[in-house]
Structure 1
């Protein structure tokens, strides 16, 4: 998701989009309306109002209902729910666990993702394709599958890695997957691709002249990295840390699979518990959701502030610039071996254990004797189970329809933001970007409050999941759309309108085709993340609207590890094929960053 540069459109950093003035004010001598271009038809203004209403409904109504349910009782406005929520036994431990888990996960993902990005972009280390695969592939594997795979690699009793460590007398190196340390390690490994993507662009845009000067002055490679390279990318690095802390706070899959059984509660697992106890504690779920939302909003606002201060660290100017790799010297092969091991640990082992589990009638530790029991029965059962087939259909419908709706809608929003020259148009961008700060579980809680008592028959249908997916992925759609539209000159649109074309025809025949690369890239990305989505779906599904991620969760709770693994293997293979096809397609239409 590259940064967009358009007319009056500032460079955007990672996280929430930034606001800026629409452009320079017209000179006093300019004719009235000269800067405004062709007069827009009234229908365009009506469309703008409709777009604003849709955004307000999708984004603001969940916030209103969440605040209303959390801050009111039967007697009106009250802080009693806050007192009740934070007087629950174990709440102080939950708060500490939430921050320890978030910062621990951020530490793991930041160190690994930053190192991978640096050696991929700035070094002459061999095996770079392997480094790139190690950086990106974990992003494709759904979080719940990644976590479950590590249960069978790092759990104290059946974890393959821990069993091997005990067999060679290295018991002190064991890490229990169900401990807080294990939770942070697993979540950090799964989130490291996000740091890689954030830091990849930062390292690529840094002038290597300063590093070369340091090397010519006799500094060693580690000293250059520590004293020159990392300080140059400090804003991007600090922003990546904050984004990962926020992602750790809103993470659900790892705390649910590992934290609930071991009693390591965090915000998201407590919210889930409050909605799955009897009687249901909507008040506590609302207060914890509001608290988590405030934390994520504060974190992302801080990220935005850090990004605005990044100009102090710019090293690329109008002078000639071409990034060159840093010669690692004797460190070349040690670095490559280290990251080859990382690839085995983070990518190969989780996928291999899932394949192994899928071929067994019941789980057994990998051994020669277990080879005699290998079978494809789990794959047969998977296709014979009506729930799985229905989940595949529901996931496909939701992924395709939500991705299509998001990209079409955000294309219109992007046009109003970048091309309409209307006052307040950038407020639309702010609204579309806000769900980035809204954890999926919090959105699910808010939608329960909206539609549980609604006269419209939406709760328990695919429509409520569609609304959740569209709302969640608006920020990604707006980033792709604005990045693509920002490269399109307004002259093409003005020429079409001066030739007699209506705004609708101009948008359909000129603007949308020119935005096609960004729309395709955004559509593919949203399809992938929609298939993986669990945190909102787990609160909003019904018996007839299960999706793949929810089905995997239920199979896990029911102990059906063999069928679960078979579903997971097919799911991962399908997502990899989809991303591979999208990458090839993107190369033809001018998109590589899929």
Structure 2
């Protein structure tokens, strides 16, 4: 009897879902938790005869060169967050509530701004507003001196335009969940539009607003490309981490690990704060009759339209500049008003190298995310318990781990034999996989929560095993959610820069790194052609997502 019970338990442990759960936990542990643990441990590795385990932290907070970078990061991130709220909330309200011309086109423009790699927009602003920029020289001829695009003001300006879509998309989604009766009640009691918004609608939007604000903060705080291009002497924490890592490469990047831990503490704290705020201000509302479209007075409509169109044109200006620059003859950083296709010669020369690497690495990582993400989503949604909760937490933790922190952690963990993976295609694919896994998990979990278990249970009762039921029944039902998650994964993976800069070698260079190198070398024409190619590759999956799958723009966040 005891032997029979033992055999049954053993068969249960060796069945499909326990094995999948174990595999998912192993991936999370060795690709995320162990690398993070190793950089935390390395950050406490003091020098012999030094100040002990906190030596590196003592040095960081004692030297202005180091702690100033943390202060600078807070300055630009908080400033960009506030400005993103200032422009993102009214923009979302106007587009969602006012009957202005080309509303759908405006949302498409916001998506274009959102998916454009931040560092591409940064060097585009250098072309426009740099010391020898097109707009700088144009206004100088009229005796007008434009503000510098370099330093903290330029970084804040670019961050605001790049990341306000977080706020726009989330607030737009939040407005869809508010019932018209809420507004009608306030207006019937004599409240004007502005007062109704601030006293009735805004409180219901608090989860969307706080989530958008914290996403902007995290994105700005962890961005590497923009501060490198625009920062000059203004150093932020991610740039300092990258500089220290490059200096320590080949050895133990102790100081880089210390800085990475500080960055991780901030982003993890922001993520925990966001989740607490979301629970604290969550309102169970269902829009039986969504907020109706308004037809404001002509003056208000004109003012609202000018605000929206001006914001969108400003946000899209870098992308328009990239497209134009890609077809202009260039002499290093100088662009000549002469049409040419010469800049695209570099794209064709890179087809067998960085372009191929980008497509191959992104495709493999996306497929891995689709497969593993769907199975993890099933475990979370259909097999609740302590282990599935732990797995859910581990997957969501990857949201909080910045790319450069993950890159440093993977180098620390897998730089030496027997697992010397640094610089190989495998380490990049694994980094992309674990970093973007939440997109597939979140997409499939949402779909599973709307599906009944009856069909799956009937399949199992008829003799099909759990694995066969999952493949034959669940996967087809989830096909659209799986494809949606895969398209989002692709669009976010193909433009990854920070982790790639740390993990790549000459033979594994990607398009993002190649663009970054061309910008650093002042080859703006070539960089524009490469950037245009990357933008097209990023946006094509989203065209499928929105056009053929009927997804809304809010799916991006």
TM-score by length of 1: 0.85
User: 1:191 maps to what in 2?
Assistant: 163
Determine the structure 2 residue equivalent to 1:68: 41
Q: Does the aligned pair in 2 maintain the 1:361–1:374 contact within 8 Å?
A: no
User: Where does structure 1 lack aligned partners over 5 or more consecutive residues?
Assistant: 1-38
Deviation at 1:292, TM superposition (A): 0.7
Secondary structure, aligned partner of 2:549: helix
Once the 2 structures are TM-superposed, how far is the Cα of residue 436 of structure 1 from its aligned partner? 0.4
Alignment of 1:32-51 (within 5 A): 42-51=15-24
Go from structure 1 to structure 2 and tell me whether the alpha carbon gap of 1:439 and 1:421 turns closer, same or farther (over 3 Å shift): closer
Taking the TM superposition and a 5 Å limit, the aligned residue runs for 1:12-31 are none
Work out which of the residue numbers 151, 159, 169 in structure 1 matches 2:133.
159
Tell me, in whole angstroms, the C-alpha distance in 1 between the residues paired with 2:554 and 2:59.
51
Unaligned runs of at least 5 residues, structure 2: 1-11
Equivalent residue, structure 1, for 2:173 = 201
1:360 to 2:329 alignment: yes
> Is the aligned partner of 1:377 residue 2:342?
yes
Q: Provide the residue aligned with 1:257 in structure 2.
A: 229
2:7 match: none
SS of equivalent to 1:324 = coil
User: Aligned ranges for residues 102-113 of structure 1 at < 5 Å?
Assistant: 102-113=77-88
CA distance in 2, matches of 1:451, 1:104: 37
Whether 1:417 aligns to 2:386 is no
- Report what 1:460 is aligned to: 423
Tell me the CA shift for residue 519 of structure 1: 0.6
How far is the alpha carbon of 1:167 from its aligned partner?
A: 4.2
For residue 248 of structure 1, the aligned residue among 204, 217, 220 is: 220
Alignment partners' CA distance in 2, 1:590 and 1:142: 21
Distance in 2, Cα, partners of 1:468 & 1:154: 35
Match of 1:391 in 2: 354
Structure 2 Cα separation of the partners of residues 271 and 401 of structure 1: 28
Tell me, yes or no, if the aligned pair for 1:583 and 1:592 is still in contact at 8 Å.
no
TM-score, structure 2 length as denominator?
0.90
Q: Give per-residue Cα distances to partners, 1:249-299, cap 9 Å, x unaligned.
A: 11111111111xx21111100001112237877111011100110111111
Q: Decide whether the 8 Å contact of 1:126 with 1:333 is kept in 2.
A: no
In the TM superposition, residue 142 of structure 1 has moved relative to its aligned partner by: 1.3
Structure with bigger helix share is 2
1:338 aligned onto 2:310: no
Equivalent of residue 287 in structure 1, options 251, 258, 272: 258
Task: Return the offset for 1:343.
Answer: 1.8
Q: 1:440 aligns with which of 403, 411, 414?
A: 403
Distance change in 2, residues 1:522/1:129 (3 Å): same
* Partners of 1:62 and 1:450 within 8 A in 2: yes
**Distance in structure 1 (CA, Å) of the matches to 2:502 and 2:138:** 38
Distance (Å, rounded) in 2 between the aligned partners of 1:540 and 1:461 = 8
| Counterpart Cα distance in 2 of 1:552 and 1:487 | 42
Report the CA distance shift for 1:351/1:265 in structure 2 as closer, same or farther (over 3 A). Answer: same
**Separation in structure 1 between the aligned mates of residue 553 and residue 219 of structure 2, nearest angstrom:** 27
Q: 1:238 to 1:517 in 2, by over 3 A?
A: same
Deviation for aligned residue 1:476: 1.9
Query: Comparing 552-561 with 539-548, which one deviates more in the overlay?
Result: 552-561
CA distance in 2, matches of 1:592, 1:287: 36
Please say if 1:518 is aligned against 2:478: no
SS of equivalent to 1:360: strand
Residue 211 (1) aligns with residue 174 (2): no
Number of equivalences: 541
CA-CA distance at 1:363 after TM superposition: 6.3
Please state how far the C-alpha of 1:228 moved relative to its aligned partner: 3.3
RMSD: 2.6
Instruction: Report what 2:245 is aligned to.
Output: 275
Q: Distance in 1 between matches of 2:90 and 2:352?
A: 41
Contact 2:500 2:513 in 1 (8 A): yes
Deviates more, 1:100-109 or 1:463-472: 100-109
Name the CA distance, whole Å, in 2 between partners of 1:572 and 1:242. 25
Matching residue within 271, 274, 279 for 1:303? 274
How far did residue 161 of structure 1 move? Answer: 3.3
Contact 1:139 1:191 in 2 (8 A): yes
